[in-house]
Amino acid sequence: MTYPRKSAAVAAGLLLASAVTAGCSGAASGSGSRSGSSTASSTPRSSTGSAPNAAPTESNPPGDIPDNQAYVAFRPSSGFAGFTVKVPEGWARTTKGSTTVFTDKLNRVQISPAAVSAAPTVGSVTNTVVPQLRTQVPKFASPKVTVVQRKAGTAVLLTYRGDSAPDPVTGKVVRDAFERYAFYRQGHEVNLTLSGPVNADNVDPWRIVSDSFGWR
């Protein structure tokens, strides 16, 4: 009577071993399938499929003018010289015709005097200057024309945004904020345009420059 029990135990052991072997085989097979799927999905795509896009406009580059920036008086040496304005000391200066430009890194001061037949108004700047700038300034946007008070008197202020010219070395383009002041007296108009990166904190420096304008 002991032999049947032993046979039954052996048979049960064989069945259990068979089940374990089958389970391990199935797990190994499943693991291999998952590994193959992971390998396929991680294969990098070719980087030669298309040409790289042009550099996007930078919206948050550095551009703050230092608080300890010194300013010096500027007065044209030729043409109409009946005014003065303070500009940041040490900035690079270029002159083309009657226009003088001072630049440093990403900031710019442009001074353009002209003889005119009438004083600028909100209407004349809106109807004449804004359309001109739309054709001259890349991605010109958000124009706003107001009359403001400065130490020299009233001025017509045009604020707007636009893209800078591409950097000649890096090709980068900066999104700039512009303040264009139109000062007028006795047939003479001086346009003072201040510009720098949109997110630069240049409120105080631009106020110093625009408040320094004076007739002589």
Q: Minimum mean pLDDT among 60-64, 108-112, 157-161, 172-176: which range?
A: 60-64
Question: What is the edge-to-edge ordering of all strands in the sheet holding 214-215?
Answer: 71-74, 83-88, 214-215
> DSSP character for 45?
P
- For 95-125, the pLDDT digits (tens) are 999 999 999 989 999 999 999 999 999 999 9
Identify the CA nearest to 164 among candidates 197, 194, 193, 192.
197
Q: Give the mean pLDDT of 134-161.
A: 97
Task: Tell me the two tokens of residue 199.
Answer: 């997110």
Q: Is the pLDDT of residue 197 over 80?
A: yes
The backbone torsions φ and ψ at residue 121, rounded to the nearest 5 degrees and listed phi first, read -135, 170
- At 6 the pLDDT is 42
The backbone torsions φ and ψ at residue 181, rounded to the nearest 5 degrees and listed phi first, read -100, 130
Mean pLDDT estimate for the chain = 81
Q: Is the pLDDT of residue 86 over 70?
A: yes
- For 51-85, the pLDDT digits (tens) are 445 566 655 567 899 999 999 999 998 889 899 99
- For 3-26, the pLDDT digits (tens) are 444 444 434 444 444 444 444 444
40 Cα distance to chain centroid: 39
Task: Tell me the two tokens of residue 203.
Answer: 């409120």
Identify the CA nearest to 106 among candidates 204, 195, 199, 202.
195
Strand 173-185 relative to strand 57-58, pairing:
parallel
Q: Which residue has the tokens 């040496």?
A: 77
Strands (E), 131-185: 141-150, 153-163, 173-185
pTM value is: 0.72
- At 49 the pLDDT is 43
Question: Which stretch of DSSP H or E encloses residue 37?
Answer: helix 2-41
